[in-house]
Chains A and B, each alone.
Chain A
Amino acid sequence: MTPLAATTQLLEIVGAALAAPAFLGWVNQCRAWLQNRRAPSLMQPYRGLRKLLNKDAILATNASPLFRAAPYVVFATMLVAAAIIPSMGTGLPMSTAADGIALVGLLATARVFLSLAAMDVGTAFGTLGARREMMVGFLAEPALLMVLFVAAMLSRTTSLPLIAETLAGQAPALYPSLAFTAVAFLLVMLAENARLPIDNPATHLELTMIHEAMILEYSARHLALMEWAAALKLFNYACIGFALFVPWGAGNEASGPIGLLLAVPLLAIKLAIAGAALALLEILSAKLRVFRAPEFLATAFLLAVLGLLVHLLLET
Chain B
Amino acid sequence: MAVSFSSLQVCLALLAAWLVVGFAGLLRPRSIRFAGRTLFPLGALCGAALATVAGLSLGAAPESRVLELGLPGLPMHMRLDALSAVFLVLLGAASTAISVFSAGYFRKGEGTLPGLLCLEYHVFLAAMGFVLLADDAYSFMVAWESMALSSYFLVTTQHRIEEIRRAGFLYLLVAHVGALSILLGFGVLQGGSWQFTFDAMRAAHLDATWASIAFGLALFGFGAKAGLVPLHVWLPEAHPAAPSPVSALMSGVMLKTAVYGFLRVTFDLIGLQLWWWGLVALGVGLFTAFYGVIFAAVQTDMKRLLAWSSIENLGIAFAGIGLAIIFRGSGLGHLAVLALVATLYHCLNHAMMKSLLFLGTGSVLHATGERNLGRLGGLIHRMPWVAWMTLIGALAIAGLPPLNGFVSEWLLLQAFLFAGDVPHPFASMLLPAGAAIVALCAALAGYVMVKFYGVVFLGQPREASLSTARDAGFAERVGLGLLALGCVLLGLFPALIVPVLDGAVAGLLHVPTSRWGGPWWLLAPERARHATYGPPALCLLLVVAVVLSIYGLRLVYHRTVRRGPAWDCGHARSDARMQDTAEGFGQPIRHMFEPFFEMTRKLPSPSDPTPTYAVTVGDRAWKLLYLPIATAVHAVANAVAWLQQGRISTYLMYSFATLILLLAFVL
- A residues contacting B by CB (< 8 A) are 53-64, 66, 72-73, 75-77, 79-80, 83, 94, 96-99, 101-102, 105-106, 108-109, 111-112, 115-116, 119-128, 130-132, 134-135, 137-139, 141-142, 145-146, 149, 152-153, 156-159, 162, 206, 216-217, 220-221, 224-225, 291, 294, 301, 304-305, 308-309, 312-313, 316
Contact residue among B453, B579, B584 (Cβ-Cβ distance under 8 Å from A123): B579
Q: Which residue of A lies closest to B568 (CB)?
A: A123
On chain B, the residues within 8 Å of A131 by CB distance are: 580, 584-585, 587-588
Question: Of B84-92, B157-165, B394-402, which binds chain A?
Answer: B394-402
A116-B533 contact in complex given A59-B564, A312-B420, C-beta closer than 8 Å: no
A141, A153, A224: which contacts B420 (Cβ < 8 A)?
Answer: A153
Among B391, B429, B545, B561, which residue has its beta carbon within 8 angstroms of that of A79? B545
Known contacts A96-B532, A97-B533, A108-B398; decide if A123 and B578 are in contact (CB<8 Å): yes
Residue from B436, B549, B567 within 8 A of A305 (CB atoms): B436
Residue of A with least CB distance to B546: A76
Q: What's the nearest-Cβ distance from chain B to residue A84, in Å?
A: 9
Query: Does B188 belong to the interface (CB within 8 Å)?
Result: no
Q: Contact: A146 with B541, CB < 8 Å? A: no
Using Cβ atoms and an 8 Å threshold, which residues of chain B touch A146? Answer: 435-436, 439
Residues in A with CB closer than 8 Å to B433 are 305, 308-309
Q: For residue A106, which residues in chain B have a CB less than 8 angstroms away from its CB? A: 401
- Per-residue CB contact flags for chain B residues 372-385 toward chain A (1 = under 8 Å, else 0) read 00000110110000
Chain B hits for A149, CB < 8 A: 413, 417, 432, 435
Report the nearest A residue to B521, measured CB to CB: A97
Q: Is B591 an interface residue (CB 8 A)?
A: yes
Stretch at the interface among B65-73, B442-450, B507-515, B615-623: B442-450
B36 at the binding interface (Cβ < 8 Å):
no
Tell whether, in the assembled complex, residue B522 and residue A60 are in contact, meaning their CB atoms are under 8 Å apart.
no
Residue pair B420, A134 in contact (C-beta under 8 Å): no
B-side residues, CB < 8 A to A, are 377-378, 380-381, 391, 395, 398-401, 406, 409-410, 413-414, 417, 420, 428-429, 432-433, 435-436, 439-440, 442-444, 446-447, 449-451, 453-455, 458-460, 522, 528-535, 537-538, 541-542, 545-546, 549-550, 553, 556-558, 560-569, 571, 574, 576, 578-580, 584-585, 587-588, 591-592
Interface core residue of A97, A98, A102, A308 (most chain B CB under 10 Å): A97
Partner of B533 from the list A59, A98, A112, A121 (CB cut-off 8 Å) is A98
Task: Tell me the complex Cα distance, A315–B400, Å.
Answer: 32
B591 touches A291 (CB 8 A): yes
Taking A122-B576, A149-B435 as contacts, is the C-beta distance between A80 and B545 under 8 angstroms? yes
Question: Contact at B588–A294, with CB atoms within 8 Å?
Answer: yes
Asked whether, in the complex, the Cβ of B399 is within 8 Å of the Cβ of A105, the reply is: yes
Whole-angstrom CA separation of A216 from B563 in the bound complex: 15
Please state if B420 and A76 are interface contacts (CB–CB under 8 Å): no
CA distance A268 to B341 in the complex (A): 44
The one of A57, A130, A135, A139 in contact with B561, judged by C-beta atoms closer than 8 angstroms, is: A57
How far, in angstroms, from A121 to B575 measured CA to CA in the complex?
A: 11
Among B409, B459, B531, point to the contact of A158 (Cβ < 8 A): B531
Determine the distance from Cα of A62 to Cα of B380 in the docked complex, in whole angstroms.
Answer: 10
Q: Are the C-beta atoms of A141 and B458 separated by less than 8 Å?
A: no
**Chain A residues, CB < 8 A from B533:** 97-99, 101-102
Q: How far is it, in angstroms, between the C-alpha of A138 and the C-alpha of B522 when the chains are bound?
A: 29
Q: Which chain B residues border A62 with CB–CB below 8 Å? A: 378, 381, 460, 566
Say whether B454 contacts A75, CB under 8 Å: no
Bound Cα distance A141, B450 (Å):
15
Q: How far is the CB of A277 from chain B (nearest CB, A)?
A: 27
Given known pairs A73-B546, A149-B432, A312-B429, the reply for A64 and B380 (CB within 8 Å) is: yes
Chain A's closest residue to B435 (CB) is: A149
